[in-house]
Amino acid sequence: MHHDPSRPGHWARAPLSRRRFVQGLALGGVALGAAGLRLPAFAAETDARSGPQVLRGSEFDLSIGASPVDFTGRTRPAVTVNGRLPAPILRWRQGDTVTLRVTNRLPDLPTSIHWHGILLPANMDGVPGLSFDGIRPGETFVYRFRVRQSGTYWYHSHSLFQEQAGLYGALIVDPIEPLPYAYDREHVVLLSDWTDLDPGRLFRRLKQYAEYDNVYKPTVGDFIRDVRQQGWAATVADRRAWGRMRMTPTDLSDVNAHTYTYLVNGTAPAGNWTGLFRAGEKVLLRFINGSAMTYFDVRIPGLKMTVVAADGQPIHPVTVDEFRIAVAETFDVIVEPSGQDAYTIFAQDMGRTGYARGTLAAQAGLEAPIPAVDPRPLLTLDDMGHGGHAGHGAHAGHGGAGMQAHPASESRNPLVDMQTMTPAPRLDDPGIGLRGNGRRVLTYADLRSVAGDEDGRDPGRALELHLTGHMEKFSWSFDGIPFSGAEPLRLDYGERMRIVLVNDTMMAHPIHLHGMWSDVEDADGAFMVRKHTIDMPPGTRRSYRVRADALGRWAYHCHLLYHMEAGMFREVRVEE
């Protein structure tokens, strides 16, 4: 991926059938050329049942380099760790001090690793330009810090688009104290999205033609059907409202299965990653969304899932049929397979264009039926906090009674194409495409931390930030100000503050604050759940508390990779 991306034909779109591209190859993955890489001689194990290499202990040698991969029938370069995609599973122990020697073997690009959700000193956080200078080619950077927490996390590059190109892996921290739940066996289920395109070229395509993957735009037939069902006036008013926002109700994701192949632990659907079980066992599945741009809706037909942890932290158990996992979130669930020998782990993308798939089986080689992808959902004006209101677009007024005010920086801003008028927390909303589907779907309202609010103080002040964007220009920002023109957010060391987010866009955004926990509040301001990534669906207003207990410069951004690169990023400075 390190050649000139402007060269014609470089990383060209593969001429593959739609079904083959979604399914991928049965044996797709790191190609044989990677076998020549010499792996470090530390304690390592590869679990043949669960695929990825597992590295345990307190000292690690990680080598970042380029490896050929083939998921779709065409060999492409990837960024790998120790020659692997995904990167090896790292297994730490709470209370230990870990040392990770990370060597950059890429020929011409700097690199980095960020330990997502891990509390550590700012200079160990791995964000080039903020916490350190990055790792130049041929250099080794030593990360060393004490592990203060336990649970399911992940790690990934914070350099350019290397995360999209394969530099991501699972991170498991075993606890010192017993967990409030028990299980007999566990598997990591790392979900991700792969593209044969050079990620930089994909970004430029989004900037030039953001609707490239949105092939489901309303047709004349849809208009005639809507007139029959809703009447001429209502249908015309609806089309005009969408036209003023320069959007369509099918814009659920910027990139989907027309570009992506979805993976489970680095395996395409046709490859059928398999995790084994014995009848009667309680199996812990550690779900991690390590994708660049994809929200997944996850279910295992025939099995109930009891969610026991969110973003690494134990919650009061809640049993569901399905959950939506935003980019960068993690959920731990317990299942008890019995009565059949195989179950499909089915993770369809939010836009219903494709899926990742694996299998829980009593023995290797078994599989279960794969469900059909659900009907494609359509956004409504209500979804974006516009139901029943006439104000649309960046020039709408600040609203009357009960309507949302907006920062002055959004007004007449060419980088802001809409504003929500009536946002709400909607913590109990399953989400677009999941309402009324006959299944019990996890919501944020279900998430209650076992530990409670460990700070206990009321916030001393509140900071409101708006998530803003312009779909056609593929510009994303906070308060209409992209990162390049934004001042840092300054927090006083030790203070307890409230952050209020308002999503003024028609897209969901997973918001991640580095270095500190984000303690989500309910609609009345009471503590609910401790997380590191906060999902913000369209038209929502959600709040969370932050204890500024980590000095230094920290990243704060949307975890949709291309939204972050397009400007939805701020620096947070915690200062004494």
Looking up residue 426, the CATH number of its domain turns out to be 2.60.40.420
The Cα–Cα gap between 453 and 527 comes to 6
Contact criterion met (CB below 8 Å) for 159 and 108: no
For residue 13, count other CB atoms closer than 10 A to its CB: 14
**310 lies in a domain?**
no
Please tell me which residue, 23 or 8, carries the higher pLDDT value.
Answer: 23
Please tell me which residue, 393 or 509, carries the higher pLDDT value.
Answer: 509
**337 lies in a domain?**
no
447's CB contacts (< 8 A; 6+ apart) are 307, 310, 315, 318, 520, 528, 529, 531
Q: What pLDDT, on a 0 to 100 scale, did the predictor assign at position 382?
A: 79
Contact criterion met (CB below 8 Å) for 134 and 111: yes
**120 lies in a domain?**
yes
The fraction of the chain above a pLDDT of 90, given in percent, is 77
Q: Into how many domains does the chain fold?
A: 2
**387 lies in a domain?**
yes
Q: How confident is the model at residue 1 (pLDDT cuts 50, 70, 90)?
A: very low
Query: Mean pLDDT lowest for which of 2-6, 91-95, 132-136, 183-187?
Result: 2-6
**pLDDT at residue 255 above 70?**
yes
pLDDT tens digits, one per residue of 12-58: 334 455 566 678 888 888 864 333 333 332 333 333 333 579 999 99
**pLDDT at residue 8 above 60?**
no
**Residue at a domain's end among 181, 203, 226:** 181
- Cross-sheet strand order for the sheet of 87-93: 44-46, 53-56, 87-93, 168-174, 151-156, 114-116
Q: What pLDDT, on a 0 to 100 scale, did the predictor assign at position 527?
A: 97
Residue 11 DSSP one-character state: T
For range 116-141, the mean pLDDT: 96
Q: What pLDDT, on a 0 to 100 scale, did the predictor assign at position 224?
A: 55
The fraction of the chain above a pLDDT of 70, given in percent, is 83
Give the residue from 200, 158, 143, 162 showing the smallest Cα distance to 67. Answer: 162
**165 lies in a domain?**
yes
- Cα maximum dimension of the chain: 71
**Residue at a domain's end among 163, 181, 199:** 181
For range 267-280, the mean pLDDT: 95
Give the residue from 491, 464, 466, 488 showing the smallest Cα distance to 477. Answer: 466
Q: What DSSP letter does each residue of 194-248 carry, written as one string?
A: EESS-HHHHHHHHHH-TTTT------HHHHHHHHHHH-HHHHHHHHHHHHHTT--
Please tell me which residue, 379 or 361, carries the higher pLDDT value.
Answer: 361
The Cα–Cα gap between 23 and 482 comes to 37
**Residue at a domain's end among 160, 181, 202:** 181
**73 lies in a domain?**
yes
The Cα–Cα gap between 107 and 478 comes to 35
Query: Mean pLDDT lowest for which of 50-59, 170-179, 216-225, 284-293?
Result: 216-225
Q: What pLDDT, on a 0 to 100 scale, did the predictor assign at position 30?
A: 84
**pLDDT at residue 6 above 60?**
no
**pLDDT at residue 402 above 70?**
no
**pLDDT at residue 546 above 60?**
yes
9's CB contacts (< 8 A; 6+ apart) are none
pTM (2 d.p.): 0.88
**481 lies in a domain?**
yes
Q: What pLDDT, on a 0 to 100 scale, did the predictor assign at position 43?
A: 30
The Cα–Cα gap between 393 and 418 comes to 4
Query: Mean pLDDT lowest for which of 95-99, 294-298, 388-392, 452-456?
Result: 388-392
Q: Which domain holds residue 521?
A: 378-576
The Cα–Cα gap between 316 and 74 comes to 45
**411 lies in a domain?**
yes
Please tell me which residue, 139 or 209, carries the higher pLDDT value.
Answer: 139
The number of residues making up the chain comes to: 576
pLDDT tens digits, one per residue of 352-362: 999 999 999 99
**pLDDT at residue 393 above 70?**
no
60's CB contacts (< 8 A; 6+ apart) are 42, 90, 98, 99, 100, 101
**pLDDT at residue 487 above 80?**
yes
Q: What pLDDT, on a 0 to 100 scale, did the predictor assign at position 225?
A: 56
Q: What pLDDT, on a 0 to 100 scale, did the predictor assign at position 468?
A: 97
Mean pLDDT over all residues of the chain?
A: 87
